[in-house]
A = this chain, B = another copy of it.
Amino acid sequence: MNNEIQFSERMEGVRPSAIRDLLKLGDDPGLISFGGGYPDPSLFPIQELNQIYSSLLVPERSDVLQYTSSNGLPGLRAKVAHRLTRDGMSCTENDILIIQGAQQGLDISAKLVVNRGDTIVTENPTFLGALIAFAPTQPNYAPVRTDEFGMDTDQLAEVLATNPNVVMIYTIPEFQNPTGVTMNLERRKHLIELANKYNVLVVEDSAYRELRYVGEQLPTIKSLDTEGRVIHLGSFSKILAPSMRLGWALANPEILDKLSLLKLASDTQNSTLNMNATLEYLRRHDIDEHIAKIRPNYLRKLNLMLSTMRETFPDEVSFTEPEGGLFTWLTCPVGFDATNFMKETLLPQGKVAYVPGATFFPVVQEPNHARVNFSGVEDDRIVEGISRLGKLLKQTL
């Protein structure tokens, strides 16, 4: 063995992440893991999908196993366009690209505009999967302070005024991953105004948008976009099932055409079968009714988690109170190391896991946070796991 293959420069930033190890941890049934970003599998419409796959997999429909258009089934794109139009983003099927989950939208959006050394603005902290997707384009980051109202657009204005290399603003306006916070309307307007002023692309990741449990839905940033500079990304993963690997990108024609070329280059197309099955699901069933059934379940889990935190956590630990999505975000006193605590105390003594927060910071890692998921954990395990976490935090702090 004498392998000396020289890897490309872009591989410098492509390194193993905590997500991979944590997905593995989640497989241990003895562990109560708040580490994933999983929907509750008991809420999947599995019987409806069974009937749909059965009716599609018949000799007259052999087209469902064949290649199809790289942009995605026209019927499915039309259904997505209809839903987005209803949500304030007027569009047709020609404005929609079907992608392999919103994650693929991150990969191709970065490829579209980022040259090595260009700057991407993100919330601070931000979605780890986005940092992983962007890494091969070798960006720099300008993370912007993020509070309970989302990205601080006054700080964004300063960043844009002083950094001419910003080519993309990446934001998760609703129930952000990892913090759970939602950007208010004023900041959404300010953000698009700034993007227009400095001629920057905006990537709006709305993967959790339809999982709002309390409060009023706010307009998407795309709906405020008068210059066609927002790529709006969404996903069926949280409202139908992750296994479909289906998401969508909405963008203006010039951008969408480039994204569709990058999609074609990446993997030719999505699964024809899964696209047909999802289209049939949307034809035969009311997905809004399905989502309306999911929401109270997740709200119950969220409330159970927050009330258990209030009961069992020491006063020094604060946590966000999200209006939707999958996550809450813990902040422990400065000096506390959530990674060490998990390794040395929480896992061995409590058999409980979260995602240490440091990994979500693009530049300066703050060690005193953790991301905690409530959607994928059974109710009694939420109470048990959070209680154990609270007890061990009290012992340690």
Q: Could you tell me which A residues sit within 8 Å of B by CB distance?
A: 1-11, 14-17, 19-20, 23-24, 36-39, 41-42, 44, 46-47, 49-50, 53-54, 57-59, 61-70, 100-101, 103-104, 107, 111-115, 118, 129, 132-133, 135-137, 167, 196, 199, 201, 226-229, 241-245, 252, 254-255, 257-258, 261-262, 264-274
Question: Mind listing 14 A-B residue pairs with CB under 8 Å?
Answer: A3-B228, A3-B255, A5-B199, A7-B113, A7-B258, A10-B111, A11-B112, A23-B70, A41-B65, A42-B62, A50-B57, A129-B268, A243-B271, A267-B267
Closest CB in chain B relative to A184 CB, distance in Å? 26
Q: How far is the CA of A170 from the CA of B273 in the complex (A)?
A: 30
Chain B residue with the shortest CB-CB distance to A168: B5
Q: How far is the CA of A257 from the CA of B19 in the complex (A)?
A: 15
**A245 and B265 contacting across the interface, CB-CB below 8 Å:** no
Classify the interface of chain A: helix, strand, loop or mixed: helix
**B227 and A262 contacting across the interface, CB-CB below 8 Å:** no
Chain B residue with the shortest CB-CB distance to A106: B265
Contact of A103 among B66, B241, B268 (CB under 8 A): B268
Q: Which residues of B contact A196 (CB under 8 A)?
A: 2
The complex is assembled from copies of this chain, and their number is 2
**B54 and A41 contacting across the interface, CB-CB below 8 Å:** no
**A244 and B227 contacting across the interface, CB-CB below 8 Å:** no
**A112 and B264 contacting across the interface, CB-CB below 8 Å:** no
Known contacts A10-B111, A11-B112, A112-B7; decide if A65 and B241 are in contact (CB<8 Å): yes
Q: How far is the CA of A50 from the CA of B241 in the complex (A)?
A: 20
Q: How far is the CA of A268 from the CA of B274 in the complex (A)?
A: 17
**A20 and B101 contacting across the interface, CB-CB below 8 Å:** no
Q: What 9 pairs between A and B have smallest CB-CB spacing?
A: A50-B57, A41-B62, A65-B241, A100-B267, A243-B272, A53-B53, A65-B243, A243-B273, A3-B228
**B270 and A245 contacting across the interface, CB-CB below 8 Å:** yes
Known contacts A41-B63, A65-B46, A271-B271; decide if A16 and B261 are in contact (CB<8 Å): yes
Closest CB in chain B relative to A95 CB, distance in Å? 14
**A267 and B243 contacting across the interface, CB-CB below 8 Å:** no
Closest CB in chain B relative to A55 CB, distance in Å? 9
Closest CB in chain B relative to A104 CB, distance in Å? 5
Chain B residue with the shortest CB-CB distance to A135: B265
Q: Which one of A3, A199, A274 has the greatest number of beta carbons of chain B within 10 Å?
A: A3
Q: Which residues of B contact A244 (CB under 8 A)?
A: 65, 271, 273
Closest CB in chain B relative to A308 CB, distance in Å? 25
Q: Which residues of B contact A129 (CB under 8 A)?
A: 268
Q: Which residues of B contact A245 (CB under 8 A)?
A: 267-271
Chain B residue with the shortest CB-CB distance to A2: B227
Chain B residue with the shortest CB-CB distance to A99: B267
**B65 and A20 contacting across the interface, CB-CB below 8 Å:** no
Contact of A9 among B46, B115, B252 (CB under 8 A): B115
Contact of A261 among B15, B103, B254, B268 (CB under 8 A): B15
Known contacts A66-B38, A66-B243, A114-B8; decide if A103 and B267 are in contact (CB<8 Å): yes
Q: Which residues of B contact A114 (CB under 8 A)?
A: 8
Closest CB in chain B relative to A134 CB, distance in Å? 8
Contact of A36 among B5, B14, B67, B70 (CB under 8 A): B67
Q: Which residues of B contact A37 (CB under 8 A)?
A: 67
Q: Which residues of B contact A2 (CB under 8 A)?
A: 196, 227
